A and B are shown apart, each in its own frame.
Chain A
Amino acid sequence: MGLLYGLIAVGLALIFGLMDVVNFAHGEFLMIAMYASFFLFAFFAIDPLLSAPLVAAALFVFGAVVYLLVVRFAMRAKANAGMVQIFSTFGLAIVMRGLAQFFFTPDYRSIPQSWLGGKTVSIAGIFLPEPQLIGALVSILAFAGLYFFINRTDFGRALEATREDPGAVALVGIDKNRVFALGWGLGAALVGLAGAIMAVFFYIYPDVGASFALIAYVTVALGGFGSVFGAFAGGIIVGLVEAVTALVLPPSLKSVGIYAVYLLVVFIRPRGLFGSM
């Protein structure tokens, strides 16, 4: 479960953590991705595992478009930039929920059968549900990929440079909007991957994103802004803490442990575990 939180958080780590743009519609991106893989399954009988790259590609386009249509202008705001970002993306989240209700109705949907659903594998005597296992694998791959991407490619360097100093970057001929649009697309694509896998074992409904979004913010902040590895570690910690809390406290209180650990960490280290900002 921790790795799944990590997978949701990784897209956010890119947008929120590395580009320093607040995205309150992150949960809604997840929701869209889950619906996308549901409909690919329902109409074309494509298994979520196969459609995951398709969903990721679709979300890539969606994320880039959202950046170009909304976020680009929010970042241009000279006054109260932070609040403008929070509330323009919050407004966007409401619109997306409204659209989902309009087109998909508020019904709960689920993918009844898939290659992975309900199967378990036993590793050294421990039974693990297969979807979670695949989710964990994808999550590790996604993190490794992103880490490589940010630290080893020109694009990653351009992204970081653009956040640091958009003016100087323009001087050396990097188009800020192109870099950030790609960054948003990539962040959204990672959420798309998470959504496609989660569609297998969670109910899908218009408000589904909200419940995961807060945990994703906490995960990114716990790991520290500006650190991909931090978000990964944050995801694992969140998953472990949740599991332990669920043993000690009633299940309905399991998130309290996560929140308490976040507070504890930032009180001791106000920049999160591996944060650089």
Chain B
Amino acid sequence: MDKNFAARRRRDLIIAAVLAGLAALAPLFIKDVYVQNILILTLMYAALSQSWNILSGYCGQISLGHALYFGIGAYTTELLFTKFGVLPWFGMLGGGVIAALIAMGLGYPFFRLRGHYFVIATIVIAEIGLLLFQNWEWAGAAMGITVPIRGDSWLKFQFLRTKLPYFYFALALCCLAWFVTWWLEDSKWGFWWRAVKDNPEAAESLGVVVFNSKMGAAAVSAFLVAIGGAFYAQFLAYIDPESVMGFQFSLLMALPAVLGGIGTLWGPVLGAAILIPMTELTRSYIGGSGRGVDLIVYGALIVAISLALPRGLVSLFSRAKPKGATR
């Protein structure tokens, strides 16, 4: 069993390296800007969902308020950039740290709550954040912030003529989130989280500090999501509260992980790789009529997948799953 586990982990790492290598070569063949755009969004959602999965999948604390951290990452970066001229790279890290601190500050009261009460509290706190930003004049209120364009530069992380740098950054972020998950999966933390998810009382009695485990998961998860938010803001060069902090965003972040397989290493990547292109394609090919057909198709697919495969798409590859991994 132990040997199997180690072998599986090594195999996962090799597969990930090969996939990342192939993805890195993709722009050599794909010149179409529209397709590149879809690829960037797919990678970004994969990264976000992977980060969400750390807290909600592995640790079992279902959060539907991660848009808060995403928005904080985006806003910290752009406020620092537009108001104080701080380079986005520092804003990105700053946003990540702030989001992680907020996640821990919120975790303090939140992690006492269980089940629906916890989920609703996460929705509500993100909604409060949204309303506050919508009314915060200095931060652009509901109008949001338009990032001033000062020409292509890595220093300022903005590019008008090409999307490739964004693509590589999104790929790197996706790899980072995957690698962090991979690394944590076999660490003390990873085992603690799964124990907390399965049975917090039993975990506590065996010496797992449940509260600290949850806090750790929340901080890592929020940090990575905020980096994603900062990226998104630079990529679009425009943010407003509804588009980076809305409730829809929290759901969109969770969706790839849920459809792919919640609490699994490959679920979020797999889910994003199928869901995001599908969303974009249905939107642009049948959404043009403005009559909501794309919504009908998209929603029906979500219903179908979540009913047919409650363990997510990864369960299709379940023979690769070591026995005993899921009771």
Contact = CB atoms under 8 A, between A and B. Distances in A.
**Could you say which interface size class chain B belongs to?**
35 or more
Contacts of A93: 299
B36 interface: no
B123 interface: yes
B134 A262 contact: no
A87 interface: yes
For chain A, give the interface size range: 35 or more
Interface stretch (B80-88, B92-100, B114-122, B187-195): B114-122
Interface string A237-277: 00000000000001011011001101100110011100000
A138 B243 CA distance: 38
Contacts, number: 136
Nearest to A100: B292
Given A87-B306, A91-B302, A221-B120, A97 B131 contact: no
A216 to B, nearest CB: 11
Contact of B291 (A102, A250, A256): A102
Interface stretch (A1-9, A72-80, A158-166, A167-175): A72-80
Interface string B266-307: 000000000000000000000000111111111111111011
Contacts of B117: 221, 225, 266, 270-272
Contacts of A91: 299-304, 306
A262 B303 contact: no
Interface string A11-31: 000001000001000000000
B55 to A, nearest CB: 14
A97 B292 contact: yes
B295 A97 contact: yes
A259 B125 CA distance: 7
Contacts of B326: 79
Given A98-B296, A221-B117, A253-B135, A78 B310 contact: yes
B121 A94 contact: no
Interface string B304-327: 101100111000000000000010
B249 interface: no
Nearest to B108: A267
Among A74, A83, A96, A256, find the residue whose CB has the most chain B CB atoms closer than 10 A. Answer: A83
A21 to B, nearest CB: 11
Contacts of B294: 98
A266 B132 contact: no
Nearest to A16: B116
A190 B216 CA distance: 43
A73 B307 contact: yes
Contact of A95 (B127, B296, B307): B296
Contact of A106 (B262, B290, B311): B290
B127 A214 contact: yes
A42 interface: no
Nearest to A217: B120
B135 A79 contact: no
A94 B247 contact: no
Interface string B97-139: 0000000000001001110110011011101100110110000
Interface of A: 16, 22, 70, 73-74, 77-84, 86-88, 90-102, 105-106, 206, 214, 217-218, 221, 225, 250, 252-253, 255-256, 259-260, 262-263, 266-267, 270-272
Nearest 6 interchain pairs by C-beta: A101-B292, A98-B295, A94-B299, A91-B302, A95-B299, A77-B310
Given A94-B296, A214-B127, 11 more contacts: A74-B307, A98-B293, A98-B294, A98-B295, A106-B290, A214-B247, A252-B131, A252-B135, A259-B125, A263-B121, A267-B109
17 contacts: A22-B116, A70-B303, A79-B326, A80-B258, A80-B310, A88-B303, A88-B307, A94-B299, A95-B299, A97-B299, A98-B295, A98-B296, A101-B291, A217-B120, A252-B135, A270-B117, A272-B117
